[in-house]
Amino acid sequence: MACVASLYADRGESVYRTICSKCHQLHIAEEKLAENFFEANNTLLKLKAPTISQISRSMKEKIGDPRSDEEIQRLEVSSFIADYIIYPDKSKSVLNPKIGKCFKTMPSLKGKLTTEDIEAISNFVYDYDKKIHKKAKEEDGFFGTILKRAKGEHKTILIKATAPHCRYCKKMEKRVFSDAEVIDLLKKSFIVLHVDVSKQPLPLGLSVSMTPTFFFVFADQQSESVKTKRIPGSWSKEDFLEILKEAEKIKRKKQ
Query: Which residues sit at the interface with ligand HEC, rule CB under 6 A?
Result: 15, 19-20, 22-24, 48-50, 55, 81, 84-85, 88, 90, 93-95, 100, 103, 105-107, 109, 121, 125
Q: How far is the CB of 28 from ligand HEC (least distance, A)?
A: 15
Q: Which of 52, 79, 50 is nearest to 64 (CA)?
A: 79
Distance CA 88, CA 24 (A): 15
Q: How far is the CB of 66 from ligand HEC (least distance, A)?
A: 16
**CB nearer to ligand HEC: pick between 86 and 182:** 86
**Strand pairing category for 213-219 and 226-232:** antiparallel
**CB nearer to ligand HEC: pick between 95 and 219:** 95
Q: Which of 84, 24, 80, 82 is nearest to 53 (CA)?
A: 24
CB within 8 Å of 224: residues ≥ 6 apart: none
Q: How far is the CB of 97 from ligand HEC (least distance, A)?
A: 10
Distance CA 163, CA 212 (A): 8
**CB nearer to ligand HEC: pick between 86 and 226:** 86
Which residue type does 10 have? D
Q: How far is the CB of 20 from ligand HEC (least distance, A)?
A: 3
**CB nearer to ligand HEC: pick between 89 and 140:** 89
